[in-house]
A and B are shown apart, each in its own frame.
Chain A
């Protein structure tokens, strides 16, 4: 079956630094990928839709200058958290849609900002 990987799986960084998270579709091409952030009580928030070859579409309330998304190829999307602050500490998950509308989720990246 289709596999989506994320790297790194966990990262600790200092306040003010930037962190890049990669999302890769390993055996299929994805012109679209989704980035989510998981909040307490298990809810997932869609942050943005990453589009290969064009700008990402951000959800309302998500700062595009803070969360930079680049869909560099048909198998890679990156999320860069710029000037990270402790409140950015969270679990970030990406997904890519399959042909039948199913979603293939990455394993997630745990970001801790100290």
Chain B
């Protein structure tokens, strides 16, 4: 059974801090790993990672994948209150686009 585990489950930081969110996975057929940010409604897409060691970056957010150790991290530097959200990790496996989600990490950034 495919599994995606995120840690920590929740996190409270102060503005300006740097955070690292973790995602480990066990899947039978890896295609890609996806990160989403969920604030109120549907998760919004952040990154898709397919290759090990190549960092994806978007502003203060960055992510990297390690296919050997089966994990990914999402880094957020200089956090802002607007970064408060649930961050979801998902792994796309299989020809029918089966996507397995983690439970998310709830990040709260306080002023």
What distance in Å separates the Cβ of A103 from its nearest Cβ neighbour in chain B? 6
Q: State whether A46 and B42 are in contact (beta carbons under 8 Å apart), knowing that A102-B9, A103-B101 are contacts in the complex.
A: yes
| Contact (Cβ within 8 A) B41 A42 | no
Q: Is A28 an interface residue (CB 8 A)?
A: no
Q: Is A58 an interface residue (CB 8 A)?
A: no
Judged by DSSP, the binding face of B is strand
Q: Which of B68-108 contact A (CB under 8 A)?
A: 86, 88, 90, 92, 96-101, 103-104, 106
CB nearest to A102 among chain B residues: B103
CB nearest to B102 among chain A residues: A105
CB nearest to B42 among chain A residues: A46
| Contact (Cβ within 8 A) A102 B104 | yes
Q: State whether A46 and B41 are in contact (beta carbons under 8 Å apart), knowing that A100-B10, A102-B86, A104-B103 are contacts in the complex.
A: yes
List chain A residues, Cβ under 8 A from B90.
Answer: 105
| Beyond known contacts A46-B41, A103-B88: 20 more, CB 8 A cutoff | A10-B96, A38-B97, A42-B34, A42-B92, A43-B42, A59-B41, A93-B99, A93-B101, A95-B101, A100-B9, A100-B10, A100-B106, A101-B86, A101-B106, A102-B106, A103-B101, A103-B103, A103-B104, A107-B98, A110-B96
| Contact (Cβ within 8 A) A42 B48 | yes
CB nearest to A2 among chain B residues: B103
